[in-house]
Amino acid sequence: MQTLQDNISELIAHGLDRIHYPETAPGLYAPIAYTLESGGKRLRPRLLLSAFAAFCGSRPISEALPQALGLEIFHNFTLLHDDVMDNADIRRGRPTVHKRWNSNSAILSGDAMLTLATEYIADCPSEKLPTVLALFNKTAMEIYQGQQLDMEFEERDNVSVEEYMDMIRLKTSVLLGCACRMGAMLAGAAEEACEAMYSYGTDLGLAFQLRDDWLDTFGDPLEFGKEIGGDIVNGKKTWLLITALEESDGEIADILREDLEPEERIRQVVKVYRKLDIDSRCSALVKEYSRRAIDAIRGVDMDGKLRDFFIELAHESAERSH
Amino acid sequence: MQTLQDNISELIAHGLDRIHYPETAPGLYAPIAYTLESGGKRLRPRLLLSAFAAFCGSRPISEALPQALGLEIFHNFTLLHDDVMDNADIRRGRPTVHKRWNSNSAILSGDAMLTLATEYIADCPSEKLPTVLALFNKTAMEIYQGQQLDMEFEERDNVSVEEYMDMIRLKTSVLLGCACRMGAMLAGAAEEACEAMYSYGTDLGLAFQLRDDWLDTFGDPLEFGKEIGGDIVNGKKTWLLITALEESDGEIADILREDLEPEERIRQVVKVYRKLDIDSRCSALVKEYSRRAIDAIRGVDMDGKLRDFFIELAHESAERSH
């Protein structure tokens, strides 16, 4: 039997397939279609539609589809521009837009995606438009702030765990919070419930990102789908590395300064991680945020099946292997 | 005595000075402030506020200031990203953002400017928001299309005059049309008047761009403020070059293919232009669009002083020397 989550996934897939691109300057839209057809978890539109379903009563969830698509388009726009900034070659197993086309195409088509996302977000009942749009714009601005901090952190060697948590909250979590809140707002949920959904989404986002950090070092290579240890090789400032830098009394900094082969560098860094118990402390923190997410929606009056879905999703996110 | 146009200029300058930037990630906002303080004609916000003034009766023109600032921020965002794409070093006599900072800053701060622009545009009475925002988004999308075509034309040697006119309409003119229409819409003008203002703005924009093309080759170096002949040296496909390519029976194409010193190339191309009477034909076309702009608002019921301003501006734009 088809579940509500199956319906939601189908709605999103069909919606993305049916995006209408203008006929003028098709070269502007080919990279957008390429980006959107490349898959991904579709987590943001799924959260938005699930949050809508939790409070909408008997109204059809397709009412909130434009905003769900708008957030997915926006998310893919940020990935597209981030890939240019990081000079990344591969995204979801395929060449990035700036490799397949060029940087100029990636910049300009990304701009067009941001405007396209805004058009989808704005396609809602006019009495909801001011608050829905304000939430979207505020969230977008926070995500740029997060990306800016992330770039600045790469140039610094004294980033604190607190600063790191602030950065990932901005860069990753607020968009999940925005998805949950926007779905609830569109369904007409009370402000208190909307706020609770926002907390749920941001805590889920923190759990998600910290689990990403953990998987990159401690994941199962067969299930993770990417090479293990990429963050260590690139000296990427993750929760693991920043915590170890703070606590290892120069040991990690020394290893990073040495000119080691990738495998040897991973081996030495992981050895320090194990000594400091970074592995299980990171897992515990992921569980803590997952628990906070679940706590946030306790006592909120919503559809029982959807509540179960949100609780299950928070548990899964803390234990996922890819 | 201070005229209405003085008031408008002052409002815009103060408004841009008083933009409030968030305190998180100041590195994101420094390039935005730098871009907005660098001057320019402020033509789009002036058009928007003048159009508002033409139809608003006794209401204060500051009512439409957020949207005027939004369009100026948007315009500067497009220049910022265009400069990255063109790898331009100088804008308004100062290093471009990607030279002063780097490309990543220019991309990300540009993204933030687009969202900031949308926030300003959205700061209007909620009953006007859906149509005002739709006009803004549609115009933004057309401008990306224009930029895409402009980039594609640089790689082609068979661009027609008609294609060129379509491209500059998208890349430049529709934003002037949008400014005029949005001012009228915000003032509550009738749809017919809004449409007339849009036509005025787009025809003004075409006159403006064609005059730019003309000035780059035939302008007075002392008044123009830039080196004369830059477009010829760079092989830029302007109305002048495209017309000459179509009519000179291979003569222009041959000159462009030769490895000439800049001054010699300019001399030879201008000689062909003169032979084909490109100089005065371009001027006549500029006057034609200026006349059409004025025709568009004939018969529209608006404040007499503002009508005089719009007519005068169209005449000036056709004869400006910088």
Q: CA A54: distance to chain centroid?
A: 21
B162 in any annotated domain: yes
**C-alpha span between B187 and B54 (Å, rounded):** 8
Can you read off the two tokens belonging to residue B138?
Answer: 């549609």
Tokens of A126: 């006019």
Structure tokens, A62? 């397709």
Helices B103-122 and B26-36: crossing angle in degrees, nearest 10, is 80
Say if CB A207 and CB A293 are below 8 A apart.
yes
In the predicted model, what is the mean pLDDT of residues A165-173?
98
Task: Render pLDDT for A80-111 as a digit per residue (tens, 0 to 9).
Answer: 999 999 999 999 889 999 999 999 999 999 99
Backbone angles phi, psi at B90, to 5 degrees: -125, 140
B65 and B153 in a common domain: yes
Please name the residue of chain B whose CA is at the shortest distance from the CA of residue A123. B130
Q: Which of B166, B189, B212 marks a domain boundary? A: B189
Which residues in A lie closer than 8 A to residue B25 (C-beta atoms)?
Answer: 144-146, 148-149, 152, 170
Report if residue B68 sits inside a domain: yes
**B167 and B236 together in one domain:** no
The values of phi and psi at residue A90, to 5°, are -125, 140
pLDDT at A114: 98
B28 and B162 share one domain:
yes
- Helix locations, A37-124, DSSP H: 43-55, 65-86, 97-100, 103-122
Q: Is A21 left (phi over 0), alpha (psi -120 to 50) or beta?
A: beta
In a domain, B313, yes or no: no
**How far apart are the C-alpha atoms of A47 and B203, rounded to whole Å?**
46
User: Structural domain of residue B253, as residue ranges?
Assistant: 202-299
> Residue B111's closest chain A neighbor by CA?
A111
What is the helix (H) or strand (E) element at residue B260, kind and residue range? Answer: none
What are the chain A neighbours of B104 within 8 Å (beta carbons)? 85, 151
Taking CA atoms, A304 is separated from A84, A301, A313, A316, B159, in Å, by 43, 9, 14, 18, 62
Q: Any bridge partners for residue B170, and if so which?
A: none
Q: Do residues B83 and B43 both lie within one domain?
A: yes
Which are the contacts of B158, defined by CB distance < 8 A and separation ≥ 6?
none
B1, pLDDT greater than 80: no
In this structure, what CATH number is given to the domain that contains residue B122? 1.10.600.10
Decide which of B189, B223, B253 is a domain's last residue.
Answer: B189
Interface of A with B in 49-88 (CB under 8 A): 81, 84-85
3-class state of residue B95 by DSSP: strand
ipTM score above 0.90: yes
Q: Is residue B275 domain-shared with residue B237, that is, in the same domain?
A: yes
Residue of A nearest to B147 (CA): A108
pLDDT at B224: 80
Q: Is B148 on the interface with A (CB under 8 A)?
A: yes
Residues A192, B157: Cα–Cα separation, whole Å? 61
Residues B217 and B177 in one domain: no
Q: Are residues B231 and B295 located together in one domain of the fold?
A: yes
Please check the confidence at residue A245 and state whether its pLDDT lies above 80.
yes
Of B27, B85, B145, the CB nearest to A107: B85
Q: How many structural domains is chain B composed of? A: 2
- The one-letter amino acid at A95: P
Query: How many C-beta neighbours within 10 Å does residue B119 have?
Result: 18
Q: Which residues of B touch A118 (CB under 8 A)?
A: 118, 133, 137
B264 pLDDT above the threshold of 90: yes
Q: What is the mean pLDDT of residues A226-241?
A: 91
Whether B92 is in a domain gets the answer yes
pTM of this prediction? 0.97
Whether B128 is in a domain gets the answer yes
Residues of chain A contacting B152 with CB distance shorter than 8 Å: 25, 27
Mean pLDDT for chain B? 96
Tokens at residue A81, please?
């521009």
- Is residue B179 located within the same domain as residue B213? no
B116 contacts chain A (CB < 8 A) = yes
- Do residues B68 and B197 make contact, with C-beta atoms less than 8 angstroms apart? no
d(CA A57, CA A88): 44
CB contact under 8 A, A148 and B115: no
| Three-state secondary-structure class, residue A126 | coil
Domain shared by B157 and B217, yes or no: no
For the stretch B169-198, pLDDT in tens is 999 999 999 999 999 999 999 999 999 999
Q: Give the per-residue pLDDT at A43.
A: 97
Whether residue A77 has pLDDT greater than 80: yes
With the C-alpha atoms ordered B281, B285, B290, B295, is the resulting torsion angle positive or negative? positive
Burial A295-304 (b: 16+ CB within 10 A, else e): ebbeebebee
Same domain as B209, residue B185: no
pLDDT tens-digit profile of B57-88? 999 999 999 999 999 999 999 999 999 999 99
- Looking at the fold, whether B180 and B209 belong to one and the same domain comes out as no
The mean pLDDT of A169-173, rounded to a whole number, is 98
Q: Cα–chain-centroid distance for residue A110?
A: 17
Please tell me whether residues B126 and B172 are part of one structural domain: yes
Using the predicted structure, report yes or no on whether residue B226 has a pLDDT greater than 80: no
- Cβ distance A170 to B119 less than 8 Å, yes or no, reads no
Which of B189, B219, B235 is a domain's end point? B189
Residue A52: its pLDDT value, please?
98
| Residue of A32, A118, A143, A155 to mutate, interface with B, max B Cβ within 10 Å | A118
**Tokens 């006159």, residue?**
B207
Tokens at residue B105, please?
């800053």
For residue B314, tell me if it sits in a domain.
no
Q: 3-class DSSP state for residue A94?
A: strand
**Domain presence at residue B207:** yes
Confidence class of residue B39 from pLDDT cuts 50, 70 and 90? confident
CB–CB contact A170 B28 (8 Å): no
Grade residue B225 by pLDDT with cuts at 50, 70 and 90. confident
Beta strands in chain B (DSSP E): 90-91, 94-95
Helix (H) or strand (E) holding A15: helix A4-17
- Residue B91, in any domain of the structure: yes
Mean pLDDT score, A243-265: 94
Neighbours of A237 (CB within 10 A): 20
